[in-house]
């Protein structure tokens, strides 16, 4: 079955440590996204990538980094510079060409919950 | 700035009664709009989408939404709530390259 796989589902981190969240998709989508979700704040865009080897900052990129070396993979690193990293992180993907660029929906993974101890 | 406003942060209904979750958008042109559902500790699942075709859009699990340009609204409805409908619902609009999310509405379904 095609879909998006995020791992790990739960992750605990000590302050000062970097952690990397994995996101893999087999939908053959060009575009991939990372969102952060906090209670009562909806979803906020961290980074997105429209094509391999290219990515752009979203609304809250500070303290995060990404790479897009393969079409299927878009890992997110939460660095020690992120002051409040405890949150639920969602990865998504979409078609990014033609009509879908304006009207296409995003497909989401199951999320990764990061807790800083 | 383009925005999406979900008018209720929390809606409570009894099982078997109708559901109405309200969403308004700001725009000078017809947007691309979606409703997503999220169960606890899960990802978002697409319920339905409006893409400038029919104004009444039918989705999964008996949900539907009506696009009303004159009211800039895209309210989500279901004739009869089921216990499994209890979840968080997001109204979302798409611009080229990014999505704009509403703040979410928590739907509680009482037995």
| Residues B19-35 pLDDT 10s | 999 999 987 566 789 99
- Which chain A residue has the Cα nearest residue B38? A110
The verdict on A41 touching B (C-beta cutoff 8 Å) is yes
Say whether A106 and B99 touch across the interface (CB within 8 A): yes
Task: Select from A81, A65, A69, A71 the least CA-distant residue to A20.
Answer: A65
Taking residues A68-85, report their average pLDDT.
94
Question: DSSP letters along B59-82, please?
Answer: -GGG-EEEEEGGGTEEEEEESS--
Q: Show pLDDT as tens, one digit a residue, over chain B (111 residues).
A: 678 999 999 999 999 999 999 999 987 566 789 999 999 989 999 999 998 778 899 999 999 999 998 899 999 999 999 999 999 999 999 876 678 899 999 999 999
Q: Is B58 exposed, middle or buried (0-12, 13-18, 19+ CB in 10 A)?
A: exposed
Report yes or no: A45 at the B interface, CB cutoff 8 Å: yes
B90 part of contact set with chain A, CB < 8 Å: yes
**Whole-number pLDDT of residue A47:** 96
Residues 44-83 of B with CB under 8 A from A: 44-46, 49, 51-52
Cross-chain Cβ contact B90/A41 below 8 Å = no
- Mind telling me how many Å the CA of A105 is from chain B's nearest CA? 8
Nearest to B22 by CA among B84, B110, B107: B107
Chain B residues in contact with A58 by the CB 8 A cut-off are 98
A vs B: CB pairs below 8 A: 53
Closest to B99 in 3D by CA, of B41, B20, B55, B35 = B35
Q: Dihedral angle at the C-alpha atoms of A98, A73, A34, A3, nearest 10 degrees?
A: 70
């Amino acid at each position: 079955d095609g879909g998006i796989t995020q791992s790990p589902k739960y992750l605990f981190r000590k302050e000062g440590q970097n952690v990397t969240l994995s996101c893999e998709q087999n939908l053959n989508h060009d575009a991939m996204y990372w969102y952060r979700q906090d209670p009562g704040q909806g979803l906020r865009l961290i980074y997105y990538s429209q094509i391999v080897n290219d990515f752009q900052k979203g609304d809250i990129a500070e303290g995060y980094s990404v790479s897009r070396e393969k079409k299927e993979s878009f890992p997110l690193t939460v660095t020690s510079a992120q002051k409040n990293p405890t949150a639920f992180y969602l990865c998504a993907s979409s078609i990014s060409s033609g009509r879908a660029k304006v009207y296409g929906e995003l497909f989401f993974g199951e999320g990764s919950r990061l807790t800083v101890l | 700035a383009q925005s999406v406003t979900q008018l209720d942060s929390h809606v409570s209904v009894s099982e078997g009664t109708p559901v109405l979750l309200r969403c308004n958008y700001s725009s000078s042109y017809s947007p691309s709009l979606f409703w997503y559902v999220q169960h606890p500790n899960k990802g978002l699942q697409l319920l339905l989408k409006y893409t400038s075709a029919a104004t009444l859009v039918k989705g999964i699990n008996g949900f539907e939404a009506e696009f009303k340009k004159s009211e800039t609204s895209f309210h989500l409805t279901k004739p009869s709530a089921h216990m499994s409908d209890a979840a968080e619902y997001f109204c979302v609009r798409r611009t080229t390259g990014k999505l704009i999310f509403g703040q979410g509405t928590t739907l509680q379904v009482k037995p």
